[in-house]
Amino acid sequence: MTPGADILERLDALRVWPYPHRVLVVIGAAWFFAFFDVVNIGYALPAISDQFGVSSTMAALAVTIGLVGYIVGSLSDGLVADRFGRRPALIISVAAFSVGTIIAALAPDLSVLLVGRFIAGMGIGAEIAAATAYVGEIAPASLRGRAGCIAAAFGYVGFAVVPFVALAIVPRFEAGWRVLFLIGAVGALVVLPFRRQLPLSPRWLVSRGRLAEAEIAVAACEAHGAAAGRTERAPEAHPPTRPARGAPGFVRYAALFLAVWFAYYIGNYAWLTLAPTLLTQEGFSLSESIGFLSVTGVGFVVGALVAVLVGERIERKFTITATLVLWAVTLLSIGVAPVAGVIMMLGFVASATIGLAVPLMYVYTAEHFTSARRARGVSIADGIGHIGGAIAPYVVLPVAGISFGLGLGVMALTGLVSAALVLLGRRMTGRAVT
142-162 pLDDT, tens digit per residue, is: 888 888 888 888 888 887 888
Question: Taking a C-beta distance cutoff of 8 angstroms, is the pair 73, 126 a contact?
Answer: yes
In a domain, 15, yes or no: no
In a domain, 385, yes or no: yes
Share of the chain above pLDDT 70, in %: 94
Across residues 272-295, what is the average pLDDT?
79
- pLDDT tens, residue by residue, 376-398: 888 899 889 988 988 888 888 88
Tell me which residue of 177, 214, 183, 178 sits closest to 199, measured CA to CA: 214
In a domain, 7, yes or no: no
What is the secondary structure of 293-357 as a DSSP string?
HHHHTHHHHHHHHHHHHHTTTS-HHHHHHHHHHHHHHHHHHHHH--SHHHHHHHHHHHHHHHHHH
Distances (CA, A) of 130 to 157, 366, 412: 20, 10, 29
Count of other CB atoms within 10 angstroms of residue 241: 14
- Domains contained in the chain, number: 1
Give the per-residue pLDDT at 74: 87
In a domain, 427, yes or no: no
CA–CA dist 250, 244 (Å, integer): 7
What is the CATH number for 370? Answer: 1.20.1250.20
pLDDT over 60 at 244, yes or no: no
pLDDT over 60 at 256, yes or no: yes
* Structural domain harbouring 408: 20-198+243-422
Q: Model confidence at 14, in pLDDT bands (50, 70, 90)?
A: confident
Judged by average pLDDT, the poorest of 192-196, 198-202, 213-217 is 192-196
Give the per-residue pLDDT at 235: 46
Give the per-residue pLDDT at 248: 67
- pLDDT tens, residue by residue, 349-376: 999 999 999 999 998 998 899 888 888 8
Question: Taking a C-beta distance cutoff of 8 angstroms, is the pair 181, 44 a contact?
Answer: yes
pLDDT over 70 at 240, yes or no: no
In a domain, 114, yes or no: yes
Give the per-residue pLDDT at 103: 95
In a domain, 125, yes or no: yes
Give the per-residue pLDDT at 253: 93
* H helix runs in 170-284, sequence order: 176-191, 202-207, 211-227, 246-281
3-class SS shares of the chain: helix, strand, coil, % to 5: 80, 0, 20
In a domain, 205, yes or no: no
In a domain, 14, yes or no: no
User: In the predicted model, what is the mean pLDDT of the chain?
Assistant: 86
Distances (CA, A) of 193 to 27, 92, 188, 200: 12, 11, 10, 16
CA–CA dist 126, 228 (Å, integer): 33
Across residues 324-338, what is the average pLDDT?
93
Across residues 289-305, what is the average pLDDT?
84
pLDDT over 80 at 434, yes or no: no
Across residues 233-262, what is the average pLDDT?
70
Across residues 413-420, what is the average pLDDT?
96
Give the per-residue pLDDT at 228: 59
